[in-house]
Structure 1
Amino acid sequence: MNKSFTSDAKILIASDITSDAKLVKRLLDSEFDNVFVSPDPDKAVADFDQHRPDVLVLAFKELGKSERHCLKLYRHGNTANFHPHRSIVLCNQEEILRAYKLCREDIFDDYVLFWPMTKDAPRLPMAVYLALREMSMCKANSPTTAEFATEARRLSTLGNLLNQQLTLGEEYVESIGRAVAQADLVASAAFNDFSQRLARNELPNVLEIKNADGFQKEVGHLKHEAIEVPGNSLMNSVKPLKQWAGELREATAPHLKSINALNTMATSIPSMLLVVDDDEFQHNILNEILKKENYQVQFATNGIEALNVLRKTRPELILMDVVMPGVNGIEVVKKIKSIERFADIPILMLTGKSERTVIMESLKAGACDIIVKPFVRDALLAKLNHTLKKA
């Protein structure tokens, strides 16, 4: 691999044994320029925040310690939650199946059989290379199809709004024209009626007409100046508005057509949802319901998994269980909402409790609605659709 590819990459080795951290560092120093160690668990968050690594190597002798280390980073620090990085956990032969499961569940990104040191020493630097390659591809790639579809759907909403406003504007222009014409007719009729009553001397106490021809001439002149000229001026002032509305409609027509076509393509791409729930039975139920409705679904069983998923992809909506082991769902929502680039992702809470305190705490944390378990399929889908349209 090209050396320039890794020249700026940062690797942080976390361990609770200084000699182990230094051992791993010596192995990686020959391949990478910026390798740092974090041997003090009390400084784990500070070390991560300081170095902001591209790859975190967890060099603990026990997987449980690696899990607790990551939990501490995500629970007590903000950098680990939003800084793009990959995690590699070192394990022993007895824990290799568990390491595989933890990586499959997105707790870690990769594992290396390392304790005791195997003959395959290059396996660790190779795993780091692969992690950096993946990071580089993610940075270089264009937006994902799902992200593009999300923006296309939002653009379609804007197109519909523009079309509605154009129609409303045209209706306003037409109503103004009708109002001006009606006002002209009413004023002319009232003026004619008044002048005719005067001409017939029906208002002797108001005015006596001595020269009928001269009166009619003056009345005609006054009508022209006071009613017809201003009326024509108002009608002429409406014409440019009408012409502008028509030209705007014509100019935007091809763009609105393109937006509609783009939306048609976007609707064929499933919206991506993240379900955070520790109950596998709930996973199966939601997976069956949501996939039939053309949703793409990712699952996490706890807050750490959820934050790991968010580091790599961006769902359009999150379904979050309230009661989970470790950090509860309300705390995970607070963490997600505290990170600027995730703050606008709508979150629906899944809970078996409908107590007012649970509802209020969930909404206060940043959730936009509550779904009480066991949920009704149609009600669930209705809330999903409503929330996605508002997003």
Structure 2
Amino acid sequence: ANLKLKNIAILLYEDETLSPSLMAEAKAESTLLTLYQYHGQKSSAFTPHTLEHVVLIGTDENNDLATIERSIAQATVVAESTALTRNLVNLPPNYCTPEYMATTAVEMANEVGLQVKVLDKEDLQALNMGAFLAVAQGSLTPPKFIILEHNAERSEELPTVVLVGKGVTFDTGGYTIKSRDGMKGMKNDMSGGAAVIGALRAAALLEIPLHVVGLIPAADNMISGNAYRPDDVFTASNGKTVEIVSTDAEGRLLLADALVYASRYKPDAIVDIATLTGACVTALGGVMAGLFCTDTQLQQRLLEAGKLVNEPLWPLPLDEAYKKSLKSHTADTKNSGAPRGGASIAAMFLSNFVDCACWAHIDMAGIEMRNDSIAYIPSESASGYGTRLLIEFLRHWADL
């Protein structure tokens, strides 16, 4: 986009590892991802640069053009879905509120044919989602629980996969307040939820033959006279009580009630994705996401999907030993534990709320924004991480 080109040609060179159609898909997808532009809220007029023509040049006249065209169409869906994720993450927090996320999800769902439902505060109270509501109670902006469903009418015949994405639209840390520098960029704390919204859009448009459910618990973590405090105890929707040690360990509280809700779909697998812990950034350097998994086959599927789309994952331990520091004298569990091994401790906290043998938790903290080593992520932009990973995971599952 910076070169202001109107026409480009891309050579589909011969490669033993990629078919012409897969190469066309990869070239088209990377081109569209690179062309992403975000103007923000600047008052100056903005006319996005658009290419008039992209020509893919093959070296074999016997290539199956219909298959290649289909691959390019699929790449377009994936890139546009990633752009939706990036747009949500790039927005300022006074724009991208829980209500805005819900409205965007509803509009998208109506466009592509997903079933959608948005639960309000009163609905969450009726469901006894005390952990979710604890985080939201300090904000004047009401929480929203966004539920997207693909192939709902075929839920009895198709495998069911539930995707859960953290949707903290701004995180002050609450009374366990973040530093000035630590609070900057906390509008991005809903990146997991945005990735799930993008993935559900693609699932519908690609007609993936799975029953896919997307759950996005959205709320602000603010400070006020009504905000939750360290030492408070809340009851999650599965009846487990949680002692608050840190109000800055809020994302796992939203996920807790969402994971309990996920079990009502009797899923074959649950995958949650969240910018959850600074400990994961420390461990993996913001280069890849941490993967915690209870099932070897599910882990392998996710690792392969991440490798294929260059959104890598690294397996981290999910072991009962990490639960020791979550032991509470007043509740069933604390929401935070010892400083060492924080990513695994957070994952073990979440395991208290999972009723599915096949579960994966993805901690994507630190990679939700631009990575300078990846050319197709524009500078000062959200990466859209997780969207393409989840789409590829769903496509691969459906192909098995």
| Shorter-chain TM-score range | under 0.3
Name the structure with the higher strand share.
2
TM-score by length of 2: 0.23
Name the structure with the higher helix share.
1
Looking at CA atoms only, which structure, 1 or 2, has the larger radius of gyration?
1
Q: Which of the pair has the greater relative contact order for Cα pairs under 8 Å at 6+ separation?
A: 2
TM-score by length of 1: 0.23
